[in-house]
Structure 1
Amino acid sequence: MINEFIQFGSKQIDFQLTYSDRKSLGITITPEMEVLVKAPTDTPLDKVKEKVKKRAPWIIKQLSFFLSFHPKTPERKYVGGETHLYLGRQYRLEVTIGNQNEVKYKGRFIEIITKDKINTKSLLKQWYRDKAKIKFAEIAEPLIQRFKKYNVEPKGLFIQEMPTRWGSCTTKGKIILNPELIKAPKPCIEYVIIHELCHLIYHNHTQKFIDLQTKEMRDWEKWKMKLEALLA
């Protein structure tokens, strides 16, 4: 594997080049935002770069897709007075010592009652996870019903922490959502779910995939950018 790059306008596109016994050049963008190029063994490097440059607009578009699935929420402090997001709104933490462990939100506050303040972080993370499990299912259900017109249905909706992605769709049709997504507004969550539902039909980010996503959520780009900005 060789590390190479091309310059496309003001952008530099880095890619990993592998030569193999194949007839044509192939380009793959991974969820980790790696650009993988596989070329026939006898292809000159300048020809490879020429073809990569021709696909540059498409590559940049795919990288942009995956960028929105990279959680970038800065580490917050788990102390009274610190603000934390829930469904796109800022809530201020209230931490009090009590005889039980409990988390609830009231007004613009998330109240954490704990026997020991050292548990504040784990209690809040579990609260987010519990809320995500309920809310994601509520938000996903009408979208899943809508996609039945395409004769597809996910095998299930699962919650799993993912360091570099907001959601994923497995080859077996399971949709996995990052619990951190519960911090974003509802339309952002809808965007991620619709994105993954589209993968039940088109596995790659082809033009048909983009067309379908646009058909099902015309303003998806707005919420994609909102997601990037809110949790950046």
Structure 2
Amino acid sequence: MNETIEQYRIIRSARRKTAAIQVDEKGVSVRVPVWVTDQWVRDWVAKKQDWIARQQTLMAQNLEMFCLKTEKGAVFPFLGKEYVLDWCNGARWDVQFEGDALIVVMGKRRSNKKIDSERVEAYLKKWLKEQAEQIISERVRYWADIKGVQYNSLKYKSFKRRWGSCSARGEITFNWRLVFADKNIIDYVVIHELSHLTYLNHSPRFWALVEKYCPDWKEKRSYLQSKNAWVLW
């Protein structure tokens, strides 16, 4: 059951045993067990006001620093390297790399009224999804073979809060925006999701399995957390 009280949202769950505060671009959410009273939440949030304010400041700085923009001259990541985004007209749509520049070649104009930046963004997202499917799928096959595990399906979506997921049915899904990151970071997420085929939780045994194949997973996880703004593009 969800409800809004003052400037934060309370999310109650019958399965939750502890309380937690989440600060993101949508605001402040307080996740609590169903039996927790509104008054307890108010008192707890009041005690956490300084921490919440710090998190909101850090989030704003993160969004300002890493939020991607489709405009000429904007810095754009691809496989861990930063490029300067540009575009030009051409015979057909294409993406080209020239030194530190990522250039989108726009095909002949059609009858639609979209401005150039919108057309570039639409094509660039399509191209990046194609690259993600090719690159990440190869890494999944590689690590599945090493770990000796099998998955039932592999999909790509536009998650707004996560980089990947694994269901109890062995269905693995990745955020295609992972293609912004270096392959070593992609490997961490792949190892993480494949490890859920063995442990469908985040227990100590799960993290021990992740660490077996990715000893520096904590650093890689922190890196991705610092790039949360990427998923908003």
Determine the C-alpha separation between the residues in 2 that align with 1:105 and 1:130: 16
Residue 104 of structure 1: CA displacement? Answer: 2.3
Determine the C-alpha separation between the residues in 2 that align with 1:108 and 1:157: 32
- SS of residue in 2 equivalent to 1:177: strand
Identity over the aligned pairs, expressed in percent?
26
Aligned to 2:89: 97
Aligned to 2:155: 158
8 Å contact 1:26–1:37 — kept in the other structure?
A: yes
Distance change in 2, residues 1:28/1:167 (3 Å): farther
Specify the code of the residue in structure 2 equivalent to 1:124.
L
RMSD: 3.3
8 Å contact 2:66–2:227 — kept in the other structure?
A: no
- SS of residue in 1 equivalent to 2:120: helix
Determine the C-alpha separation between the residues in 2 that align with 1:113 and 1:15: 46
8 Å contact 1:184–1:231 — kept in the other structure?
A: no
Aligned to 2:180: 183
Q: Which moved more, 1:185-194 or 1:109-118?
A: 109-118
Distance change in 2, residues 1:201/1:94 (3 Å): same
Q: Which moved more, 1:171-180 or 1:95-104?
A: 95-104
Alignment of 1:4-153 (within 5 A): 16=12, 18=14, 26=17, 35-37=31-33, 74-114=66-106, 115-116=108-109, 117=116, 118-148=118-148, 152-153=149-150
Residue 208 of structure 1: CA displacement? Answer: 1.1
**TM-score (norm: length of structure 2):** 0.68
Matched, 1:222 2:219: yes
Q: After superposition, what is the alpha-carbon deviation per residue over 1:137-159, rounded to whole angstroms, capped at 9, x for unaligned?
A: 222222111121xxx31112211
**TM-score (norm: length of structure 1):** 0.68
Residue 78 of structure 1: CA displacement? Answer: 1.9
8 Å contact 1:147–1:153 — kept in the other structure?
A: no
Residue 87 of structure 1: CA displacement? Answer: 0.9
Specify the code of the residue in structure 2 equivalent to 1:223.
K
Residue 105 of structure 1: CA displacement? Answer: 2.1
Aligned length: 186
Determine the C-alpha separation between the residues in 2 that align with 1:38 and 1:147: 39
Distance change in 2, residues 1:34/1:216 (3 Å): farther
Determine the C-alpha separation between the residues in 1 that align with 2:122 and 2:227: 23
Determine the C-alpha separation between the residues in 2 that align with 1:27 and 1:155: 33
Any unmatched runs of 5+ in structure 2? 4-9, 42-62, 110-115
